[in-house]
Structure 1
């Protein structure tokens, strides 16, 4: 299983635009192979800081979704409302697998 932490810092006054795009992204992700769940969290100290936690069955499933054309197009729209580029951290459960 894989958990992906996606960090975004949105521009002031753009929350409605960002959440609209994130909801669209999540709806599409739910139909992707290997998708388990997704959560969106807003920082208590800084409401402009968002964390999306996305859970996948495998790294291959996540990477296929990350490179999906529709996702990438939506991500490009999202980037215009962000203070900084999106950051991704990918975590696997268990021991570290050997790379092929």
Structure 2
């Protein structure tokens, strides 16, 4: 299993519109092969900084979703609401 950390920063006044569309992205990811679970959190010091932590069966499954036409189309709605590029970090359990 891997975890994918997705950080996004929402432009001022677009929080509600972002939330609505971000839910659509997560709903679609849930049905993607290899998706296990996910949650979205808000930074307690910056309410426009959102972090999604998603668990995927493998990096191959994540890559398939990340590069899918479906995700690209959904992101076309989200990207204009962000004032920075999203940052994605793929995490795996260390051997220690």
Partner of 1:19: 19
Instruction: Give the C-alpha shift of residue 17 in structure 1.
Output: 1.1
1:44 lines up with 2:68 in the alignment: no
Supply the distance in 2 between the matched residues of 1:33 and 1:52 (Cα, whole angstroms): 18
Aligned residue for 1:19, secondary structure, equals: helix
Aligned residues: 95
Partner of 1:98: none
Instruction: Give the C-alpha shift of residue 68 in structure 1.
Output: 1.1
Alignment of 1:1-100 (within 5 A): 1-95=1-95
| Cα distance per residue 1:71-94 (max 9 Å; x no partner) | 111112101000101110001124
| Cα distance per residue 1:42-97 (max 9 Å; x no partner) | 011000100000110000000000011111111121010001011100011244xx
| Structure 1 residue runs without a partner (length 5+) | 96-100
| Structure 2 residue runs without a partner (length 5+) | none
TM-score, length-scaled by structure 2? 0.94
TM-score, length-scaled by structure 1? 0.91
Supply the distance in 2 between the matched residues of 1:70 and 1:57 (Cα, whole angstroms): 19
Aligned residue for 1:80, secondary structure, equals: helix
